[in-house]
Each structure stands twice: as structure tokens, then as C-alpha cells.
Structure 1
Amino acid sequence: MLPNVKLFNATAVEDLITRQGEGNTLRVAGVVTNWTLVSMHHDDQSCMDPNTINAPLVISTTGHDGPFGAFSVKRLVSMKQLDKLGGMRGLDMQTAEDAIVKNTREIVPGLIVGGMELSEVDGANRMGPTFGAMALSGVKAAEEAMAVVDSRKKENQY
């Protein structure tokens, strides 16, 4: 593994760290994390303080199903940074694969969204069990990240 890559096993993102950006806009500046089991049981066990990870840029590709699916974009709606989600459409691999890869992008300053989470934003079709486009969406997200990371470092004073 590369020295600058960190993997966090059994960890869930509970919230987004936000700061005021240029022009009084909100930008994503990191994530709030906790152990997954703690996140899933906040209502029936004692609270455990979360951890924060400041980052000049966050890439979110959490998918669409499950308790944490499309978390980042759902949170943006609740923070009124997105009006609403487009809602994922039915499975159409041929249409979806091109759309997801092509439209992987920074949707608000500091947050790049790709993969099936993007289908929830754009109202794109579901891809199904074909992982080629999911991987290519990750490559596109990395390319997008390289294009914006220097400006985010300056804003976050890293």
C-alpha cells in the first residue's frame, strides 16, 4: 500500500465537515466518522464521540442501497446544498455506464461524487452487476480530484 493511503475498516461516515467557501458558499472540508456499529445504534446505546478527518477534497461513491447508501448527497439535501435528488432510475446498464463515468464530478465545492451515488443525484439509470464503469468512475473521480486539490489545500490552509 502507498504511504499516503489509509484504510479504515468497519468505519462509517456520519456527517460532512463544512466551511464557508468563496462567495459565502458552503464547501465540504472533510468527514465525521465513527465505528459502523456505533453509527447503526445511536438510538439504542450510549453515544460514542466521532472522529473527524479534515480533507481538502472528499470523494464519495457510497452506492445507493443500505443504511449508508448515497449518504453524502442525502446529507447535502438536508443541508439545503442540493434542492433534491434526481432519484435512481431502473436498471439499464448500457445507458447508465456511459452516463455515470461521463458525469462523475465535483457537485459542490470539496465533494466529488461518482459511481451509483451519482445516479441518485442525476436520476441516472442503475448499472447492475457490471463493475467496469464503476471502476472507470473511480478513475474519473481521481482525475477530477487532481484538477481541484491545489485550490482546496489553499482554502483549508494545509
Structure 2
Amino acid sequence: MSEPSTSSASAPEQMPPGVMEALLRPSGNRPASRTLESFSDGVTEVSVVDSDSQVNKYDLLCPRPGCGSIILRTGVGKLVEKPSVQMEPADCTPSLLAPMPEPPALTHWWLVAPSPMEFENIGFSKPLINDAGPQMKLLICAECDLGPVGWSEVGGTEFWLACSRVGYRA
């Protein structure tokens, strides 16, 4: 005759004291960022020639003070000058981000292709209703939702970050 099983269910383990508070505390070691206008030579100073194109010389960061999330690593974005894009309604409240020139004025962009997997940390808006052309999504910091820092066409393989709307880890 066999003995009855004496296995007992183990009690759920408790977290050591202070672990949850530590996890919820903001990280104090966020990289500091500089704005594009803080560089005396502008885009020339934040880009470097790699092969036949200019790429970002520094990591691109969320420009929100206290966030500093890395959006794109050094050398991934290709510098392109092309017309500005209206990413915000004309009547929107001022944001922490530099204003974009009115289209069709030229501005500088970091082109990221062929996939959003090139980014370290980026979020996308829902598709915007656009009667004038292809639908687009806005790019935002995936950590703090600051944006828009750029845009992409829905289903496209090109992602555009405004050089003036990201921070630079110099």
C-alpha cells in the first residue's frame, strides 16, 4: 500500500523590500542631449561622410529633458534635404519641439530605411487623414510620447526624423 502524497504547494514568493520602488524610480543615468541649434555649424557638425552619403555622427535622442531615450544609433540615419512636412495642425499649442518651416520650404531630415527595426526606440501614431496625398503616421518617442519628431508613409519603407526635433549625444 502506498503512502499518501505529502507534496505541498509552495507559497508564492514575495519580492524583497525596495525592489518595486527601485523599478518605478526614474533612471538617473539618462544621456544628456543637445539641440541642433546648439551646434555652431548645424547639420554639418552633427553629420559625417560614410561611403557616399552623410550619416548621423551622434546617437539621436528624445529631446525632452529627463527622458533622453535613444531613438537612433550613430551612423544609421542618412542626411537628406527635402521639403518640410506639416506634421501638426496650425492651431496646435506650442510644444517643446522646434517649429517646422512651412511647406514647401526645404529642411534637413534623417532618412531611416528600410525598416522601423533600424530604430532603437520609436512610436507611431494612428494613420492621419490626408486628402492631399498618401496617408502618413507620425513618429514619437516610444518612452515619453513626445512628438512628432518625424513621419512615414503608411506601409512605406522610409522613415523621416526632423533634424531640428531630435537631441544629439555629443
TM normalised by structure 2 equals 0.24
Alignment TM-score, normalising by the size of structure 1:
0.26
Q: Which has the higher helix share?
A: 1
Instruction: Indicate the structure (1 or 2) with the bigger Cα radius of gyration.
Output: 2
